[in-house]
Structure 1
Amino acid sequence: MPDMYHSIVERRVRALFDAVNRGDAEPVLRAFAPRFEHSFLGENHALSGSRHSLPMTRRWYERLYRLLPDIKFEIRRVWVSGGPWNTIVVAEWKETNSGTDGVFTSNYGVHVLHLRWTRATRLIICPDTAGLKATLDRLAGAGNSEAHAPPIVD
């Protein structure tokens, strides 16, 4: 039974990444529990910080798409542990984008997701922050002021 449950969770997580790859964050937003945390690692950059409400998390995804409009995630591996009442998912990925300046870059990282009864209670996005910071600095240098905007947090 756990193998079947884990397979279902893995397919669902991959489908959420596919939605993000299409520029559609709504399936991700619908996956959150009423009380949740959406965190992106890094110190004081345009995508860093934690959000706990759907409006602020939606604003964060809108910013992500404005900064990296063609962002794509290639899922390398997905690990699922636990039962429906307490599930941990780790998704390892390679991300590619061409930013708003047309310069192709890539980055690597993991998403760590906690699910309770199929609803996301915590999502921690862990990219290579040095690579991301270089991309944001490059975009700001090319005139995209939002690349150096304060984090969206609540």
Structure 2
Amino acid sequence: MIYSYFVEKSIRQSFDHVNNHRWDAAVKALAPHVHHRVSGAHALGGERHDKEAVRRWFERLGRVLPTLHLTVNHIWVKGWPWHTTVFAQWDGTATLLNGEALYVNRGLHVFILRWGRVYALEEFYDSQAAAGGLAAQAAAGLEEAVAEQIVS
């Protein structure tokens, strides 16, 4: 289906924006009252309910894991333009500041789209690996890695 092709291309582009720290482009397709949820009791966890808070979250992601690279392995698109569900399975890696360890994680993003806008985004991944990577960054002197969650 042509619609699925364009949705997949758009989702892959959004991951590319994140990999290259293009935050304006990364949040462009978000609805003003988007629901963004990331599991885990750490600086990247929590829930946000507006586009500006998600932008601040992306900016923090870039600061606490500056070398993070997400590789999209599979994307599944289901639905029609007025209600589309997208699953994107990925592998993520980053070099940690201590130079002794590599951050590795694997996850699944679930997007809910309506007419090309992202209304919900939930991230499922190994939250313990994320917390461990953030703790290592904090131990190397990056205080924001253990900051309070960005919530709205």
TM-score normalized by structure 1? 0.93
Query: 1:19 Cα deviation (Å)?
Result: 1.1
Cα distance, 1:41 vs structure 2 = 1.3
For 1:152 and 1:114, the matched residues in 2 are separated by 21
Aligned to 2:87: 90
1:143 to 2:107 alignment:
no
Contact 2:17 2:25 survives alignment (8 Å):
yes
Aligned-residue RMSD, C-alpha: 1.2
Q: CA deviation at 1:111?
A: 0.5
Structure 1 residues 1-154: aligned runs within 5 Å: 3-42=1-40, 44-102=41-99, 103-154=101-152
Amino acid at match of 2:20: R
Provide the rounded CA distance (Å) in 1 between the counterparts of 2:47 and 2:97.
24
| Unaligned runs of at least 5 residues, structure 1 | none
- SS of match in other structure, 1:108: strand
Identity over aligned pairs, percent: 38
Whole-angstrom distance in 2 between the partners of 1:99 and 1:80: 33
The ranges of structure 1 where at least 4 consecutive aligned residues each deviate by more than 4 angstroms after the TM superposition are: none
**Distance in 1, Cα, partners of 2:71 & 2:103:** 14
Higher mean alpha-carbon deviation, 33-42 vs 68-77, is at: 33-42
Measured after TM superposition, the shift of residue 25 of structure 1 is: 2.1
**Deviation of residue 11 (structure 1)?**
0.6
Is the contact between residue 40 and residue 125 of structure 1 (CA under 8 Å) also seen in structure 2?
Answer: yes
Q: CA deviation at 1:100?
A: 3.5
Tell me, yes or no, if the aligned pair for 2:81 and 2:114 is still in contact at 8 Å: yes
